[in-house]
Structures are given as C-alpha cells and as structure tokens.
Amino acid sequence: ILVCFRNRNFPFNSELISTVDGTGLQWDKSATFLGVTLDENLSWELHCNKVANKMAQGAGILNRVKNLLPTTSLCTLYNSFIFPHYSYCLEAWGACQPKFLKRIAGIQKKAVRSITKSHWLAHSEPSMKKHKILRFNDQHYFQSLSLMYDMLKDQCPDVYNLRSDMNKNNSDHATRSQTDKPTNLRLPSHNTSKLKTTFLSQIPDLWNKLDEETKNAKNRKSFKTSLKTMLLNCYSDKVECSNPRCTDQRSHI
C-alpha cells in the first residue's frame, strides 16, 4: 500500500511511480505504520477516530463492572484498556486539530466517572486530581516535555538528539536562545499552519515556560514526578459551575 501525500508545492506525477518492476501499486488514502494511522493530508483524523473507538470499548467495560469492583481494580482496568490507546505515540499526533481530539477527551472523562462511580454528568477534574490522572491535553504536554528532556540529556536515539544538530553547526545557537536563561530554547518559525502543530514547533515554547528547578532535574524520574505534580496541582477540588441543572453539587465551590 502506497500513500500519496499531496503537496501543492510538489507536482505529483502518478505515472512515474504507478508500477514497480511491472507490478501495479494499490493506491490508498491512508496507511497504518507501527500502530499509527497516517492519512494523505496528515490531519490525524483517522488515527483519532481509531483511538476513540478502542477507548470506547474500554470505557464500556468499566461502566458495566463499576458496581462490582472496588476503585483500585477499576483504576487497573483504566490503565489496561484505555490509557495505553491514547498515550501511544501521543507526542506525534496529540497536537492535531481540537475537533479531532474532542471525542477522545470526552471518553476519558466518561471512564473517570466510572472509576469514581459518579453521575454521568459529574465534574471529572476533582476525580482526576484525586486519582492522579492527567487530562488528555495535559498528558500530551507531559509526554512531549518528557521526550524533550531526553533529547536534551542525550537519553534518546541520535535521530532525535538536539545536541547532534548543535555539534554539526559548531554552535549552541542552533537551539539555545540568547536570554538570561541558558536552559531556554530558541523558538522556530514556520510559514504554514500545519508545521506549527508539529512537535519541534510547539514543545520548545512549553519547555521555556517551565521553572528552572524542573528543567534541571537530576534524572528522568525526578523530572517526570515534578512535572506531573505541577500539572495536578493546577486541578481544583471544587469547580465553578453555573449550570442550574448540574447534579454534581458536591464538587461546586
């Protein structure tokens, strides 16, 4: 299966590569590589739908057994049937258009309500803080910054290593910014909106917003612990709700 990624700046001629050694190629608008579905426009819509469908199956299991199992067992089922699906390769596709991610975030909230045996319209943020579950957007933020930490600390393959690029240029100016904070990275500039959602376009800005103590963590474990604690501390035990029909009064301020 060959996927054709159309680019208006690159004239595509299907006659040049329609056959290989006299064998015709089967054209398709999408393909799955290592569990990640790629579409011809790199919108990640197909992959998000695939992830949401798998998560929905796990959420259905949780909903059916929530009154039969304790909370600890429900958390185990969540980490087995739901979390692996949306966390896999999240660094690559987690920054796509919000309309494709909305269903995934909704299913995650539904699963959290099943863990806490709450009403299906209950607020999920207090429950996530209690059970130390990051919201979908924050999970993408968490995994991406963890990868950035590995890249800066030479703890990942050379293909992802920022320092290898810095050595080629014989200058730290390739990624470091000219500020009073030496741990900050230079922000890249792109002309297209699609490139602005890529990993190397968004994560440097998020990295620069971290406090110096977190960025200078001694090891990966301490960095991830500090980062997750910082994210969970932003969650509220009580939320402001102006919906008069809300049934979750116990979570209101």
- Alpha-helical regions (H) of 88-219: 90-93, 98-115, 125-130, 136-152, 162-169, 199-208, 212-215
Query: Can you tell me which residue has the tokens 């991406």?
Result: 144
Rounded alpha-carbon distances, angstroms, from residue 32 to 3, 37, 70: 10, 4, 37
Grade residue 177 by pLDDT with cuts at 50, 70 and 90. Answer: very low
CA dist., res. 136 & res. 166, Å (int): 32
Q: Which residue has the higher pLDDT, 190 or 90?
A: 90
Lowest mean pLDDT of 35-44, 82-91, 127-136, 242-251, name the range: 242-251
Give the per-residue pLDDT at 172: 42
pLDDT at 104 over 90: yes
Give the per-residue pLDDT at 253: 65
Grade residue 165 by pLDDT with cuts at 50, 70 and 90. Answer: very low
Grade residue 218 by pLDDT with cuts at 50, 70 and 90. Answer: confident
| Element of type H or E holding 28 | strand 27-28
The whole-chain average pLDDT of the chain stands at: 79
Confidence (pTM): 0.76
pLDDT > 70 in the chain, percent: 71
